[in-house]
Amino acid sequence: MLYLLLWCINIVIASINGYTDKQNVIEAFELNTKRYRSDWKDLDTRPLPEWYDRAKIGIFLHWGVFSVPSFGSEWFWSNWVGGNQKYIDFMNKNYPPGFTYQEFAPMFKAEFFDPDEWATLFKRAGAKYIVLTSKHHEGFTLFPSKRSFSWNSVEVGPKRDLVGDIAQSVRKQGMKFGVYHSLYEWYNPIYLEDKRSLFLNKSYPSTKLWPDIKQLVNDYQPSVLWSDGDWEAFDAYWNSTDLLAWLYNDSPVKDEIVVNDRWGIGIPCHHGDFYNCADRYNPGTLQPHKWENAFTVDSKSWGYRRNMNLSEILSDKQLLKEIVSTVSCGGNALINVGPTKEGTIAPIFQERLLALGDWLQVNGEAIYDTSPWIRQNDSLNNDVWYTCTKQQYDGFNPTSKPKATDVTAIFATFFEWPKDDVLSIRDVVIYLHRHNTLRVTLLGSDRTLKWKIASGVAYIELPKESVKSNVGWSLKFCNI
């Protein structure tokens, strides 16, 4: 009876989603009722939830006790204990003998933290999802972990459930909320004991890691679980496949959640809903699997640094190029800013994010809901990057090149305005030949642009006055 009920429900869902023939209805039903085994081969058959590919742009937040010294990077504790002289000198100069890292935690007060202000900023920046460090490698949790006694933000420092506060504000603004969670903890004695056993013991995953992740998922229902800190042990130690099978089959977010690829030695760039492969990963070419470029506005650190210099901050154009090239090659851009210990976003980060939001207000059509085109970077003009929109979304192959008949529009984004106001590009020539009624416009303007083809090159006559930008522009090619 239950199976029959599910079958009827899925027929209705399939009809709403546009499935009409019997085979499509059967496929839709099987996808909605499938249970995944705890092995990579089967887990890898899960289609990517559509929202993630359509979103394109997220904000990453590295926030924790490391935000108190705010010196060097978020790896402050490890670098200090590990004997890095720069960190040792910093501590000797500024703190008394015997000072411990744990004594930074009460200084992490977040007294100016306003989650609604943050969410408003991120919304204006054009972000569609937010990923917050629920716990970095230092082990300090930004939620009331039942396994991190006196080492969490409710008991020490802010005396607030920071994960809960941000999740609520982000969702009020219509964005998705996700959490970063480090698998390992530098100095957790349970983990270190497992490490001494060459990870034959699995006390840490069963008594600390799994309970924390399940608490996060059940209490906050994140749309993203961004794993890290996996590189010291194989996935068998972390019980990664069991965890993902639970996420996909039985968790409260089983239909929506997406995870990255950091689940053990040898797993990155091979398994996961989307691949990170490495920090600041941007291959510049189309990838066969959905991926994400997580990168920092402060080019030197993920956490906030009081000693950062303006020259180390990505310019508006650098930020935009990183995003456009990423999306063109099938990736999402996860843009990291590190909040201060007081709970503020540095003005320079705000400025960059707001400038991005202004650009997306005009050019977002070339970014959101797009797919890779048959070309990514123009073969004549490498300043130009392509995206397209197509009729059918493919959750199994979101980065696949479209069929010519499936393309509804092509976008060409460029960053240098030509001196003669004529943009020369090659790869759209075949598309221009195919459509006699093609209309070319510059996003932000309703004016139809003139164009011609000569010797296999398309010459697009741009308006004499650029449109509401000085860092990048997007052309739209659409058949009338």
218: left (phi over 0), alpha (psi -120 to 50) or beta: alpha
Please give the domain boundaries of the chain with CATH numbers for all domains.
40-365 (3.20.20.80), 371-479 (2.60.40.1180)
CA atoms within 13 A on the CB side of 154: 13
Q: Which two tokens stand for residue 112?
A: 């100016």
- Which residues, in sequence order, are CB contacts of 30 under 8 Å at separation 6+? none
pTM (2 d.p.): 0.91
pLDDT (tens, 9 = 90+) of the chain, 480 residues, equals 444 444 454 544 444 444 444 444 444 445 567 999 999 999 999 999 999 999 999 999 999 999 999 999 999 999 999 999 999 999 999 999 999 999 999 999 999 999 999 999 999 999 999 999 999 999 999 999 999 999 999 999 999 999 999 999 999 999 999 999 999 999 999 999 999 999 999 999 999 999 999 999 999 999 999 999 999 999 999 999 999 999 999 999 999 999 999 999 999 999 999 999 999 999 999 999 999 999 999 999 999 999 999 999 999 999 999 999 999 999 999 999 999 999 999 999 999 999 999 999 999 999 999 999 999 999 999 999 999 999 888 878 899 999 888 999 999 999 999 999 999 999 999 888 887 668 999 999 989 999 999 999 999 999 977 676 789 999 999 987
User: What is d(CA 352, CA 153) in angstroms, rounded to the nearest whole number?
Assistant: 28
